[in-house]
């Protein structure tokens, strides 16, 4: 079992009544918030989580009102406990396939476990594809960062290198007067952008980056160029390409689209998280590359509420059908014959019993 996930309620994934109302794929902020909402209205819900939340490398999650600075894994541990306290089940596992089977979905895990659900909430997050610079991956989430809203305050007033976009340089310039933009060979800036960078005092270094330098305390110390020159920085901001973790959903016919700003690929969803495929919702980064933890959690809650409405519409219709069938039973021919027999006995249909019978 992955250390980032703990099975709550055993690792079995059999539904209490044979079929879960909802299987949630992914137990990050989005999936757990969705599961919490579902469990609190007594919907049988199972979360299957591979235990690799995107922000795991970071020491703290920032920007969460009331919980600012909480360790990412601690937040999820609390979330799993909250889901379980309302009867939701959270298990460690990796979903490898989901396909429709009549009116339900069959969910398959890498270890061979299978289960069934009436609805699916996809909350599997995204993968950050980092620039191919030796030594960079190892520093991800520490002194190699991407998001000014997540890490900005923490890197204030330090020497920041930006191996990303012009806009990222502007974002980090709010936090530090010492910002250097590393321009990959072939990157063009408009005259206006050059002027803006100069006006803001952002340094620009043109040339390919070949590696990172660290100091004796394993802190980032500089960015090395192929020219051999090293530019001292304490923090490096990069612009990963974001890709929704959705390859295992091939059988469902979900639509993936490029983010309008070209940041990567995400699932297509509407405001409620509905994917356009009956019975399938998505929440968090898988459908919104830009969502931070609070937005991911909120989208999980929103999607769960939409799923509840969908389920209860089905349930209420089924209840009405059952009632009609029972009514038909009460007033149908067989029941009428039975009532007639009990009330009228042999006088049924006005025929008097024969003497002696």
Instruction: Tell whether residue 280 is a contact of ligand FAD (CB under 6 A).
Output: no
Q: d(Cα 50, Cα 73) in Å, to the nearest integer?
A: 13
By C-beta, is 197 or 297 nearer to ligand FAD?
297
Which lies closer to ligand FAD via its Cβ, residue 183 or residue 299? 299
CB 259 → ligand FAD: shortest distance, Å? Answer: 15
Taking CB under 6 A as the rule, which mask of x and - marks residues 20-39 in contact with ligand FAD? -----xxxxxxx--------
Does 282 bind ligand FAD (CB under 6 A)? Our answer is: no
User: Rule CB under 6 A: is residue 80 a binding residue for ligand FAD?
Assistant: no
115 binds ligand FAD (CB under 6 A): no
- If one asks whether residue 152 binds ligand FAD (CB under 6 A), the answer comes out as no
Q: How many residues bind ligand FAD (CB under 6 A)?
A: 38
Q: Are the beta carbons of 124 and 26 closer than 8 angstroms?
A: yes
Tokens of 61: 């999650």
Nearer to ligand FAD by C-beta: 146 or 183? 146
Residue of 7, 14, 19, 52 interacting with ligand FAD (CB under 6 A): 52
Q: Give the DSSP H/E element, type plus range, for residue 194.
A: helix 191-200
| Binding region for ligand FAD (CB under 6 A) out of 11-19, 44-52, 226-234, 252-260 | 44-52
- Residue 87 φ/ψ region, left for φ over 0, alpha for ψ in the -120 to 50 degree band, beta for the rest: left
Q: What are phi and psi of 87, to 5 degrees?
A: 95, 0
Does residue 139 bind ligand FAD (CB under 6 A)? Answer: no
Strands 114-122, 104-109: pairing kind? antiparallel
Binds ligand FAD by CB under 6 A, chosen from 15, 20, 49, 306: 49
Q: Is residue 44 close enough to count as binding ligand FAD by CB under 6 A? A: no
Stretch that binds ligand FAD, among 54-62, 169-177, 260-268, 318-326 (CB under 6 A): 54-62
Closest Cα to residue 278, out of 247, 254, 249, 248? 254
Sheet holding 203-206, edge to edge: 144-145, 235-238, 160-163, 179-183, 203-206
Residue 5 CB coordination number (10 Å): 23
Among 291, 304, 307, 308, binds ligand FAD (CB under 6 A): 291
* Cα 107 to Cα 129: distance, rounded to the nearest angstrom: 27
Residue 194 Cβ, how far from ligand FAD at the closest point, in Å? 30
Element (H, E) at 205: strand 203-206
Query: Cβ neighbours of residue 9 under 8 Å, at least 6 residues apart?
Result: 84, 89, 90, 91
The reply on whether position 141 binds ligand FAD by CB under 6 A is: yes
The residues of the shown chain that bind ligand FAD, judged by CB under 6 A, are 25-31, 48-55, 57-58, 61-63, 94-95, 123-125, 128, 141, 147, 150, 245, 248, 284-285, 291-294, 296
């Amino acid at each position: 079992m992955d250390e980032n996930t703990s099975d709550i309620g055993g690792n079995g994934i059999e539904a209490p009544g044979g079929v879960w109302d909802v299987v949630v794929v992914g137990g990050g902020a989005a999936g757990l918030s969705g599961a919490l909402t579902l469990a609190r209205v007594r919907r049988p819900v199972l979360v299957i989580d591979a235990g690799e939340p995107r922000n795991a490398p970071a020491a703290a999650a920032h920007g969460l009102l009331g919980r600012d600075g909480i360790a990412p894994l601690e937040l999820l541990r609390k979330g799993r406990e909250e889901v379980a306290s309302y009867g939701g089940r959270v298990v460690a596992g990796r979903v490898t396939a989901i396909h429709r089977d009549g009116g339900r979905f069959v969910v398959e895990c890498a270890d061979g476990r299978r289960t069934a659900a009436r609805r699916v909430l996809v909350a599997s997050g995204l993968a950050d594809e980092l620039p191919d610079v030796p030594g960079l991956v190892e520093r991800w989430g520490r002194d190699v960062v991407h998001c000014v809203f997540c890490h900005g305050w923490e890197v204030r007033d330090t020497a920041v290198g930006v191996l990303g976009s012009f806009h990222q340089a502007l974002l980090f310039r709010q936090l530090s007067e010492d910002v250097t933009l590393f321009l990959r060979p072939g990157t063009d800036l408009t005259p206006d952008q050059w002027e803006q960078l100069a006006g803001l005092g952002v340094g620009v270094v043109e040339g390919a980056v070949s590696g990172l330098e660290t100091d004796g305390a394993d802190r980032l110390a500089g960015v090395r160029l192929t020219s051999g020159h090293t530019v001292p920085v304490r923090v490096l901001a990069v612009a990963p390409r974001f890709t929704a973790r959705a390859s295992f959903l091939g059988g469902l016919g979900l639509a993936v689209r490029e983010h309008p700003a070209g940041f990567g690929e995400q699932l297509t969803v509407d405001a409620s998280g509905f994917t356009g495929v009956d019975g399938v919702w998505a929440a968090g980064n898988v459908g919104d590359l830009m969502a931070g933890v609070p937005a991911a959690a909120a989208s999980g809650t929103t999607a769960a509420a939409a799923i509840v409405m969908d389920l209860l519409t089905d349930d209420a219709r089924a209840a009405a059908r059952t009632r009609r069938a029972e009514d038909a039973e009460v007033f149908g021919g067989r029941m009428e014959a039975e009532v007639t027999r009990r009330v009228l006995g042999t006088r049924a249909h006005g025929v008097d019993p024969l003497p002696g019978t």
